[in-house]
Structure 1
Amino acid sequence: MNYVYILKCRDGTFYTGYTNNLKKRLKAHNSKKGAKYTKGRTPVKLVYFEEFILKKEALHREYSIKKMKREEKLKLIKSLNLEDRFTQNISTF
């Protein structure tokens, strides 16, 4: 599975990324071994993710989310109740 995700950084900013292993990537971000952007902004919190079968689709979605304004990202995040999503897909992580 391929994932596009949004993290909320300690300073309140958002980081959008792609991975094929969400649990491992989150651990890397919080261990300061993830993206350069998040290294000085830990801890980070997962606030949004989408799943894709094809890597190409995930990368395209990542690009479109990165182009969004902050307000649009907030709407996207609010459209997904992440706690319910984790409860439903706990085996994924």
Structure 2
Amino acid sequence: MHKEYHVYILLCSDGTYYTGMTSYLEQRMQQHQKAHFPKAYTARRRPLELQFLATFSSVFDAIEFEKKLKGWSGQKKKALIEGEEEKLKELARCRNLTHFKFFVGE
């Protein structure tokens, strides 16, 4: 039997999202819900709801995906959770003033 690695997104009581990774999902969820780590981000933001779960057979793939999600805004995470692919694409577009779409030559 091969090991599985789970990347998850929790909705916190304050409306923020927490992204994590574990190979023991049930145990990790209990730790979050019981504030097993009192100084952790989720400890003061309970109750928590599991909103998204992706499972990987490779720990490297799971870590890479978790890091990617941690860099996302709350809006992007919400679009992923709700399966709004078009909104996710729109939120992923570059919006800074140097982007080719906004660049005005000399």
TM-score (norm 1): 0.81
Greater radius of gyration (CA) = 2
| Structure with greater proportional helix content | 1
| AA of the residue aligned to 2:25 | L
Once the two structures are TM-superposed, the CA of residue 69 in structure 1 deviates from its matched residue by: 1.2
1:1-93 equivalence runs, <5 A = 1-34=4-37, 36-79=40-83
| AA of the residue aligned to 2:7 | V
Return the structure number with greater relative CO, CA threshold 8 A, min gap 6: 1
Once the two structures are TM-superposed, the CA of residue 70 in structure 1 deviates from its matched residue by: 1.3
Once the two structures are TM-superposed, the CA of residue 71 in structure 1 deviates from its matched residue by: 1.2
Once the two structures are TM-superposed, the CA of residue 33 in structure 1 deviates from its matched residue by: 1.1
TM-score (norm 2): 0.72
List 4+ stretches of structure 1 deviating above 2 A.
Answer: none
Q: CA RMSD in A?
A: 1.5
Deviation track 1:13-40 (CA, whole Å, cap 9, x = no partner) reads 1000000011111111000015700010
Aligned length: 80
Deviation track 1:30-83 (CA, whole Å, cap 9, x = no partner) reads 000157000101111100010000111101000000111111111100019xxx
